[in-house]
Structure 1
Amino acid sequence: MFMRRVLGLGLVATALVACGSTSDLSAVNNGINNNVAGTQQPLSFAQYDRVVVREFANKTGDESEATNLGVNKFGMYIASNLKSNTSFKEVIMEAKGQNVPLTTSTLIVDGAVTRYTEGNKALRLLVGMGAGSSYFDADVNVRDATSGATIAQSKVDLNSWGLGGSIAMSQTVDSFMMSAASEVASDVVTAKQKSIQPADGMMQAVK
């Protein structure tokens, strides 16, 4: 399994008790996810030295200003995590309509947020049993800038702990986005630094 970098005790707590998961980044070949039996291929970003992260599309069905602003943060968090590592020569967060020039050595990270529900902290603390739950779902694509083809994917599916209490109260959509962004960025960096081979349906780092 890909090595994960989890920053801060808050993210550790979220990872331990939040329901759902952020899937390992999986190679895609001709539109076929390589977790499918018989299609497994190595995943390597060794030939890329530049990453452009684009704003994620809002596919939640909620076009409110608060949700749009929240959705925009996810790409920013991924870019920030990638910038904190020196594996890539350049990491750019592309604003909508910016059209950053692309090169043959550029990776594009984009995708869509499909669920963004803040829930209610008080209900999570005092009631539990799923009341006031927070949710964050997203589809993450890593694409080759020259062809535009998707070469890797990850799926985020996170929600607060159903039993409630102080831990569930602290599990906000923002904490989910930060945790998922850290994991996605870590996988991208791992695929840049070493060859990634699939094994038993999971992507494994080869040292």
Structure 2
Amino acid sequence: MSMKKTLAALALTAVMPAVALANEGAERLARMLEPLETVEARFEQLILDGSGERLQQANGHMWLSRPGKFRWEVDAPYQQEVISDGDEVYLYDPDLEQVTVQALDQRVTHTPALLLSGSASELTESYEVSRQQQGGSETFRLVPKSPDTLFEELQMTFNGERLAALQMIDSTGQETVIEFSEMRTNHAIDDRRFTFEIPDGADVIRDAH
């Protein structure tokens, strides 16, 4: 499965340079992400094809502890776990009994899940960021500067100060939409949540890149 988903102030935007707008969006997003030390939430994940047809729907639970620690569990029927201990990222597919291990490097941090647990200050270096506000909702559009990414566009929507949804679009037009609920922030999360014990008998693939 794929990890792998205002119009106000027109007069002001018309006279502001595009670079300034991008910097303002990145700085605003960094200010919203920076206070988040830990996050726990339920989520619903939809995967749509380029015409909007639903391909998959799944629910799950995620935990993160910044910087760099993350656990993402997708429930059946598309069960999958992605765990980062701050040094390595483990992708576990129980159906295939397969574990893929990658170093937590710059390429991996371009994936949306680890973007949330990374350093907010890296946003201006890694993404072109623009911002749109409508009522109490703010949407940030992130376009990766590097071509070595799993998506071509990422949108993060906040209701007030709370992250409500992620939307990712890849080069084929496939869209992943993740909506969060029951979110808790800045509470104690047992560090064992971010460790992964490779199951006996599982095939292990180590990405050398």
TM-score, L = length of structure 2: 0.29
Structure showing the higher strand proportion among its residues: 2
Structure showing the higher helix proportion among its residues: 1
- Relative contact order: is structure 1 or structure 2 higher (C-alpha 8 Å, sep ≥ 6)? 1
